[in-house]
Amino acid sequence: MNNGVQPVAIIMIEDDQGHARLIEKNIRRAGVTNEIVPFATGLTALSYLLGPDGSGKVHAGLPLLILLDLNLPDMTGMDILARVRESEHLRRVMVIVLTTTDDPAEIHRCYDLGANVYVAKPMEYEKFVNAIQQLGLFLSVVSVPEVP
């Protein structure tokens, strides 16, 4: 986007298809046209992110943004976050955590592990739409760091 070379790819890790669809729809409505790569499980997402050599080198030079659901069937979003932050190539990738709880302890843990933004999925749909659309606006103005 505004780095002008490569458009940001949005990696969406979300096991609930309904949530994934709603997020996608609302991001699109906010005017974000970037590619969205969806994953329903942690393992598939991690193998994509880290690549075959497990170092994340495959994404070198590409700007990435990860939308991460904490509550996955096969592992927790925290595990994925930790693995991403351990990777030399991915550790500065922007990670936005999306989850159904607003438990303060969990929010703190996410920030401690290096989440950039934490968005609770609110029960009221208007708020959810609002949050997602603000996220879309946010995505259209921030400068996403490139994977080194």
Partner 1 sequence: MVIARPAFSRAVPLLLMAGAILLLAVVLVSLRFANQTRQNSRDALEAAGLNDRALLLFSLVQDAETSQRGYLITGEEKYLAPFKRAEALVNLQFTSITSDMRKAGISDVTIDRLKRLVDDKLAEMRKTIATKAAGRDAEAVAIVRSDAGKMAMDEIREIMTRINAVTSNISFQKGISLDNAARWLLISITGGAVLLVVLVGGAVYLAAAHARQLEAARKALAEHNEMLEVRIGQRTQFLERANRELQSYSYIVGHDLRAPLVNIMGFTSELERAAAIFADYMKKPPAARDALTEKIALEAVDVDIPEALGFIRSSMRRMDDLINEILRLARAGSRQLSQDRLDLAALLAETVANLQHRLDESGASVVLSSNLPLVVSDRLALQQIFGNLFDNAIKYADPSRPALIHVSGAVIDGTAAIEVADNGRGIAERDQERIFELFRRSGLQDRPGEGIGLAHVRALVRRLGGDVAVRSVLGEGTTFTVTFAADIRSTKGRGET
By the criterion CB under 8 A, which residues form the site for partner 1? 16-19, 21-22, 25, 40-41, 43, 71, 73-76, 79, 99-101, 103, 121-126, 128-129
CB of 6 or CB of 47, closer to partner 1: 47
Q: Which is nearer to partner 1, 88 or 103 (CB)?
A: 103
Nearer to partner 1, 33 or 47 (CB): 47
CB of 69 to partner 1, least distance (A): 9
CB of 45 to partner 1, least distance (A): 11
Secondary structure (DSSP) of the chain = -TTSSSPPEEEEE-S-HHHHHHHHHHHHHTT----EEEESSHHHHHHHHHTTTTSSGGGTT-BEEEEEESB-SSSBHHHHHHHHHHSTTTTTSEEEEEES---HHHHHHHHHHT-SEEEE--SSHHHHHHHHHHHHHHHHHS-PPBP-
Q: How far is the CB of 19 from partner 1 (least distance, A)?
A: 6
Q: Please state the closest distance from residue 2 (CB atom) to partner 1, in A.
A: 30
